[in-house]
Amino acid sequence: MTFLDTDIKFLKGVGEKKGKLLGDELEISTFADLLYTFPYRYVDTSRFYKIAEFTGEMPSVQVLGQFINFTTEGEGVKKRLKATFSDGSRFMEIVWFTKIEFFKGAYKPGQYYILFGKPTQFRDVWQMAHPEVNSYDASKPPTGFRGIYSIPDKLRKRGHSTRLLSDLVKNLFENAKIREVQDTLPAEVISKYNLMPLLESLYNLHFPQSPDKLKKARERMKFEELFYLQLHILRFSRERGRRIKGHVFPRIGEFFNNYYNNYIPFELTGAQKRVLREIRNDMRTGRQMNRLLQGDVGSGKTMVAFMTMLMAIDNGFQAAIMAPTEILATQHYETIKGWSEKIGLRVELLTGSTRVKARREIHQGLLDGSINIIVGTHALIEDNVQFKSLGLTVIDEQHRFGVAQRAKMWKKSEVAPHVLVMTATPIPRTLAMTVYGDLEVSVIDELPPGRKPIQTYLRFDNDRTEVYRLINRELQAGRQIYIVYPLVKENEKLDLKSVETGLERIRGIFPNVKVCMVHGKMKPSEKDCQMELFVSGEARILVATTVIEVGVNVPNASVMLIENAERFGLSQLHQLRGRVGRGAEHSYCILMSKNNIGGDTRKRLGIMTDTTDGFLISEADMKMRGPGDMEGTQQSGIAFNLKVANLATDGQILNIARQTAIEILNAHPEFIETPAEGKDNYSGGELKLSMESVMKIRKELHLRFSKKYDWSQIS
């Protein structure tokens, strides 16, 4: 047992009773727990507030002044002590509810004290309840910063304040044995990046010696947290790379070249070409490709998927592409069939509604290898779907599939197929690196040329006539319109628009066109039927909930109207907006909002009107909502229990931490359990560690991640 594992009751100033209280209320049972319970904010002790500066939203602040008088009020449990306190120009009231006799005699009128507490206003009078009181020595005015700890009510009621913890931490640092505490980072890493040593960092987090030192202390703790997390994730994914073999696709062959040279309907963008090269490189290594392809809506992911499938086919394998809905699968089928016909490949569609006879033929064709490409929905996962030689699985719009479902696709061939996961929800890099670990990420960051940008407007209820006029004009020009609502049914508690009432209204306003409706509460068959009305162009307006968010392609649609836009997340709005701008000369996205939205909401919606760059939007979204809420991360299995680091803002530290982890793994393949056959082939530098540092890392990894979970495996 080390010093830090010592029971907290043995710390000077604690004992049995307080020890139990700390354990119950603050989860502090050992010295280490205390040391790692950090202040949640810091106060500049040289800054005194004037009562005239008080506002209702202030946290605890310092006031310098004198007590004028003390009076007791009430009887029994209602008894309280009040004092008038002056800062020299104004007065406030101080209230104590417990230990009244003690406080009455504790402070002398006429002397200067520093009060520390949260100002609250009662009627017109500013008050502070149970402030911390310290005497003031004009010859030694306070300087520097102090940490403020969060203290639960139960402790406060017993008269404890934030000072309880700072006093205890001080006692801990006065214990000579604390010098024995080992640094948790290897010495080589500390010196390479000039990080603050552990003890100094801990000290500065509790008692900052300067703002600069506090910053360095924080950086070090964040680095440490991210470093071990990255090391853990990367170690697993390398392990996986060794364990799981992949098909080797050595050549670019006839189908690929024939299609590329003679039939491709457009010049690939630079980004599409680059991504194809990245994929090609993966597929000839002998490791199984596990690649996430991110590309904004309309960036041309389908063609990349198709060309990748051709690589598999050229090497004698079959390819599958799986979409989350029947509508999407059908669209992919038609697109891919059109492309494949040119070069004589057989493509089939398999969904829940494929008839028994056709289904049987497809099963047969997959088994005997006569089907080259199968497009489908979840139906592809079923056990009776067997392949002759599945070499590649493409999964579109990955966040609609659960991890377990994706894993099933693996089992369809002896050697796991290469996997390409495509998503239009741009995940900020920092998040992707943490959630998906060593999963290779490709990004199509360029739209095909000639796209007309979508004009986005924020409009309010009283602009409706103007908005309907725009819709009318587009209808006259032969275009189609999406209108999205947050709810299916009106709801008394929520003042939001619903698709059912919307349908009636829109039919009334545009009586000459057919209006159809889809929402998540419909039966799938009914939904498909309504959707088909819109895809075929028979219905000109589609009113819907966000079920239309993913992938639907109706190039003739030119307006996306979103009701109660203030209720949607930015990434969701971006997805919805991506449904238009796919063909029409000009497209519009109109965000309808109620009139009285707050500043934050206005700012959020302002991002939508300012940019169409999915990555910018996604990063802004992450900064505003925090990474835990990001779409696509919920099912990933990672708990966002980072204590000090913040994925939204600490991208730079994360980069360095990851780089360091990579270099260490390059130099120390012994961190990976499965022995390598030959040499691992990872690029990047090497950081060689001493034996002592290697042991240190092993210990830390064990402490932090003894529950094994392979985060890197996404498919």
One-letter identity of residue 683: S
Binding of ligand ADP at residue 297 (CB under 6 A)?
Answer: yes
Pick between residue 297 and residue 664 the one whose CB is nearest to ligand ADP.
297
Instruction: Name which of Mg ion, ligand ADP, none residue 297 binds, using a CB cut-off of 5 to 8 Å depending on partner kind.
Output: ligand ADP
- Sole residue written with tokens 């020009």: 477
Member of 10, 40, 122, 266 binding ligand ADP (CB under 6 A)? 266
C-alpha–C-alpha distance, residues 636 and 436, integer Å = 8
Quote the CA–CA distance of 249 and 260 in Å, as a whole number: 18
CB of 544 to Mg ion, least distance (A): 18
Q: How many residues bind Mg ion (CB under 5 A)?
A: 1
Minimum distance between the CB of residue 280 and ligand ADP, rounded to whole angstroms?
18
Residue 448 or 651 having the CB closest to ligand ADP = 448
Using CB under 6 A as the binding rule, the residues of this chain from 410 to 449 that contact ligand ADP are: 424, 448
Write the DSSP string, 18-64.
HHHHHHHHH---BHHHHHT---SEEEETT----GGG--TT--SEEEE
| Cα 581 to Cα 39: distance, rounded to the nearest angstrom | 50
The rounded distance, in Å, linking the Cα atoms of 124 and 129 is 16
| Phi, psi for 151 (deg, rounded to 5) | -120, 120
Q: Is 280 exposed, middle or buried (0-12, 13-18, 19+ CB in 10 A)?
A: middle
Min. distance of Cβ 291 from Mg ion in angstroms? 16
Cβ atoms of 185 and 27 within 8 Å: the answer is: no
Residues 202-211: b if buried by 16+ CB within 10 A, e if exposed? bbbbbbbeee
268 binds, among Mg ion, ligand ADP, none (CB under 5 to 8 A by kind): ligand ADP
Helix, strand, coil percent content, the chain, rounded in steps of 5: 45, 20, 40
Q: Which of residues 634-693 bind ligand ADP (CB under 6 A)?
A: none
- Rounded to an integer, what distance in angstroms lies between the CA atom of residue 330 and that of residue 375? 8
Total chain residues near ligand ADP (CB under 6 A): 15
The rounded distance, in Å, linking the Cα atoms of 557 and 479 is: 6
Residue selected from 299, 377, 693, 712 as contacting ligand ADP according to rule CB under 6 A: 299
- Shortest gap between Cβ of 573 and ligand ADP (angstroms)? 16
Among 147, 246, 295, 426, binds ligand ADP (CB under 6 A): 295
237/572 with CB nearer Mg ion:
572
Closer to Mg ion by CB, 202 or 321: give it. 321
Q: Specify which residues 241 forms β-bridges with.
A: none
Answer yes or no whether residue 323 interacts with ligand ADP by CB under 6 A. Answer: no
Binding track, positions 447-476, relative to ligand ADP; x by CB under 6 A: -x----------------------------
- Please report, for residues 136, 185, 221, 358, 697, the alpha-carbon distance to residue 705 in angstroms, rounded to integers and kept in the order given: 48, 16, 17, 49, 12
Q: Which stretch binds ligand ADP (CB under 6 A): 44-52, 298-306, 316-324, 609-617?
A: 298-306
Instruction: Let me know: does 75 contact 242? Beta carbons within 8 Å.
Output: no
Q: Does residue 459 sit in helix, strand or coil?
A: strand
Among 1-9, 221-229, 264-272, 511-519, which window interacts with ligand ADP (CB under 6 A)? 264-272
Terminal C-alpha separation, the chain: 41
Two tokens at 468? 């309907």
For residue 83, what are its two tokens?
Answer: 């004092």
Between 335 and 659, name the residue whose CB sits nearer to ligand ADP. Answer: 335
Near Mg ion in 540-599, by CB under 5 A: 551
Name the binder of 298 from Mg ion, ligand ADP, none, CB < 5-8 A by kind: ligand ADP
- Measured between alpha carbons, how far is 319 from 419 in angstroms, rounded to an integer? 10
Element (H or E) spanning 115, and its range?
Answer: strand 112-117
Query: Which string of x and - marks every residue 583-602 that binds ligand ADP (by CB under 6 A)?
Result: --------------------
Tokens describing residue 355? 């008839």
Site for Mg ion in 104-143 (CB under 5 A): none
Binding mask of the shown chain, residues 537 to 566, with x at each position contacting ligand ADP by CB under 6 A: ----------------x-------------
Nearer to ligand ADP, 480 or 593 (CB): 480
487-546 positions binding ligand ADP, by CB under 6 A: none
SS (H, E, C) 641-694: CCCCCCCCCCHHHHHHHHHHHHHHHHHCHHHCCCCCCCCCCCCCCCCCCCHHHH
Closest approach, Cβ 335 to ligand ADP, in A, equals 7
Which residues, 6 or more positions from 414, have their beta carbon under 8 angstroms from its beta carbon?
A: none
Residue 459 Cα to chain centre, angstroms? 29
The residue from 303, 329, 458, 506 that contacts ligand ADP (CB under 6 A) is 303
Residue of 127, 230, 272, 434 that binds ligand ADP (CB under 6 A): 272
By a kind-dependent CB cut-off of 5 to 8 A, residue 612 interacts, out of Mg ion, ligand ADP, none, with: none
Q: Smaller CB distance to ligand ADP: residue 161 or 269?
A: 269
Binding residue (CB under 6 A) for ligand ADP from 117, 298, 324, 486: 298
375 binds ligand ADP (CB under 6 A): no
Stretch that binds ligand ADP, among 92-100, 268-276, 411-419, 704-712 (CB under 6 A): 268-276
Contact assessment for residue 304 and residue 272, using Cβ atoms and an 8 Å cutoff: yes
Residue number of the CB closest to Mg ion reads: 551
Nearest C-alpha neighbor of 542 from the set 599, 499, 577: 499
CB of 565 to ligand ADP, least distance (A): 22
Classify residue 391 by burial, with Cβ atoms within 10 Å: 0-12, 13-18, 19+: buried
308 binds, among Mg ion, ligand ADP, none (CB under 5 to 8 A by kind): none
**Taking the complex as a whole, how short is the minimal distance between the CB of residue 449 and ligand ADP, in angstroms?**
7
Q: Which of residues 370-409 bind Mg ion (CB under 5 A)?
A: none
Residue 330 CB, shortest distance to ligand ADP, in Å, is: 14
Nearer to ligand ADP, 30 or 330 (CB): 330
Stretch that binds ligand ADP, among 232-240, 299-307, 363-371, 536-544 (CB under 6 A): 299-307
92: number of Cβ within 10 Å: 23
- Give me the least distance between CB of 328 and Mg ion, in Å please: 8
Least distance to Mg ion, CB of residue 301, Å = 5
In angstroms, the CA 246 to CA 285 distance is 8
Q: Which of 241, 614 has the CB closer to ligand ADP?
A: 614
Identity of the residue, 165 or 422, whose beta carbon is nearer to Mg ion in the bound complex: 422
Q: Which residues bind ligand ADP (CB under 6 A)?
A: 266, 268-269, 272, 295, 297-303, 424, 448, 553
Q: Which residues bind Mg ion (CB under 5 A)?
A: 551
